[in-house]
Each structure stands twice: as C-alpha cells, then as structure tokens.
Amino acid sequence: MPFPRSLLVRYLLLAVGVIGLYTLLHKNYIYVPGAEPRVNACFTVLARNHDWRALRDSMRQIEDRFNSRYNYPYVFLNDKPFSAEFINMTRSMTRAQVHYGQIPSEHWSYPEWINQTKAASRRKEMHEEGVMYGDSESYRHMCRFESGLFFQHPLMQQFDYYWRLEPGIKYECDINYDPFVYMKKNKIRYAWTIAIYELMNTIPTLWTSVKKFMHTHPDLIPSTNSLWWVSRDNGTTYNGCHFWSNFEIADLSFYRSKEYQTFFDFLDREGGFFYERWGDAPVHSIAAALFLQKEEVHWFNDIGYYHPGWQHCPSGNAWLDNRCTCDPNDKSKTITNANWGKCSHEWEMLPDTPRA
C-alpha cells in the first residue's frame, strides 16, 4: 500500500520545524516560560593571536560545562588586530555570538605623567631582584588595562555583567545553574573562586597609596565594608589577601561606579603599574574590600576551576553531583588545602554586615 503523499508532507514539515527549533534554541537561546531569563552578560577574553589554541581548550571547557546551555556571548580584546586564523579558530568553538575588538592605543600605552626612563630602570631592577614578570613591559600594560580600562571598551558598553576567561584554564565541574542570574537575584556585585596571597615584592608601595586614597576620599568609603579581610589593623597594613582575578564574575556597575573610577584614577596617577608591578587582582580585591559589604561579594565554592599553578576543587556531594574531575585532596594544586589558601578560609571568617 503506497504511503499517502499528504501524510509524507506532514512528516517532512514536522521534521523541518523540529530541526529549525533546535537550531534556534542552540544558536541564539530562547527564553522558555518558567525558566530564568538570561542576564545581559558576556565572557570577556584578553588575548593575543597566538593564544588561539589554548583558548580553544578554555572555550571547550566552559562550553561543555556551562555555556552550551546558555549561549552567553564572548568579547575578545587584543592590543593588535585579530588575525583571521584567531577568529576562525575561536568562533568555531561556540554557537554564541562572538565579538572581536582592538584595544585603543591610549589604553595600552604610557600615560603622560609616567617617566618612561624611570619605568625601564625599575623593570631592570625588579628583574635582577627575581620579581615575577619583573622585566615585562607588556605585562604591566595588561595589569593596568585589566585594573581599570577593559570595561570602558566600546564592545563592553552593551553589557551589565562579565565573566573573565583566559587561555589555559580548566573548568573541572559542571555548572548546573546560571551564576549571572544568581548574582543578579542576590544583588552580588563581585564573585570569585580562588583567594590567594599576593607576591608582596610586586606591590611594595601599593598599600601606602591605598592609605593616601582613604585619607583623601573618606566620603567614598562606606562605614560598613569588607576591609577586615585585607587588613586586620583597621587599614594600617595590608595582609596580601586578594581574589585571583583570572576568574571573576562582576556586575559592571561596580567598576563603572564613581567610587571605583576615582580609586583607579588615583592609583594610576601614583605610577605603581609601571614603576612597580601592581596587578589587577590586588587592585580589584582591595576595591571590593573598601566599597562592598560582605554580602555583595560571593565565593562560588561549588565551581571547580584550574588556572596553571592552583585550582579550586569542591568536595562532598557537590563534587559528585557536578561530575567533577579534579582532586580536592591534591595539596600541590588545591588552594584551600595549601598554606597559600588561607585567604579563602579567612573570607568565611569575615563578620557579617551589621543590620540596623
């Protein structure tokens, strides 16, 4: 008995519709009634053209563990034009939208108030002293850019939240919820997964400059904040704790705020990004401690994350439920099981913000 043509046409139309819906869902993300709507957010990646291979690994990690279900867009930034090879090799790793931008030259160069001869001399001295990246000029431009300029890029203006992504990292557990939505619902402005001690020989005068800022702008510092985490003597000294900013998720209104912008501009004028080797991690962390209450900063303790050198690995049910592959007992990698991980534990000791 021949198959009815009308029924065949129906099946073909149904198949086309299913394929089209699948493509639309996975290409552009559709809000399904009852599900949480996406936040206006992106992944932000500072990269060079030769980083494409390591970034394919990073993107595969975050796509498999999280973003294949959410399709948050990517913003790639470079101080040079991106090559066709880089664009092809990264764009092919995701169904999400991908943006590529070049950093304005004024954001990757010396400000007019920096003495470049002095900066070169200090790089030489720090290299001779064995300071990590002590002689690197580009590393200093990167730290300054990540400290206070990345969110000013035109491609970033459209977004409210960002998640930093880097070459060579690993996400070692499934992320079965949307951290952006969690932050927005809970009014969290900064989030981290690894806290660690800074190499103090990279920032010998940073805290002196921070104290000058606090003295100059007391009106910008709230009466309740998270300062205790970075200074146990009410601001006299810095204990070196900072959030490792190669992973951070932030509400960009924090960085765009008058408080943060004034703080960054003050530090920028101090010259330590070039005369020393101030990193974006202590700058972000000290700013969070100065301007945010404990409840506005969140430790994503359930996200398994590795950056060359250290990892954060959940344990217990979270390790099983999220299909983690890291070893929480590996003291050579897992920061919370090493002496350098004391800052993570001390964050939990930070007193809650007093309520009236």
Nearest-5° Cα angle at 132, 128 to 137: 80
Choosing from 146, 166, 172, 248, the catalytic residue is 248
Greatest Cα pair distance, the chain, in angstroms, is 91
**Are the C-beta atoms of residues 74 and 62 closer than 8 Å to each other?**
no
Known catalytic membership, residue 248: yes
Measured between its terminal Cα atoms, the distance across the chain in Å is 81
**Are the C-beta atoms of residues 310 and 245 closer than 8 Å to each other?**
no
Distance CA 259, CA 261 (A): 6
Q: Which alpha helices (H) appear in the chain, and where do they start and end?
A: 5-28, 52-65, 84-91, 116-128, 137-148, 179-185, 206-216, 252-255, 258-270, 272-275, 280-291, 317-321, 342-349
Of 285, 190, 296, residue with least CA distance to 238: 285
Nearest-5° Cα angle at 186, 328 to 96: 75
Distance CA 177, CA 180 (A): 9
Pairing relation of β-strands 305-307 and 195-197?
unpaired
The sheet with strand 170-171 has its strands ordered as: 170-171, 305-307, 310-312
User: Which two tokens mark 305?
Assistant: 């994350």
Of 81, 206, 78, residue with least CA distance to 141: 78
Question: What residues act catalytically?
Answer: 248
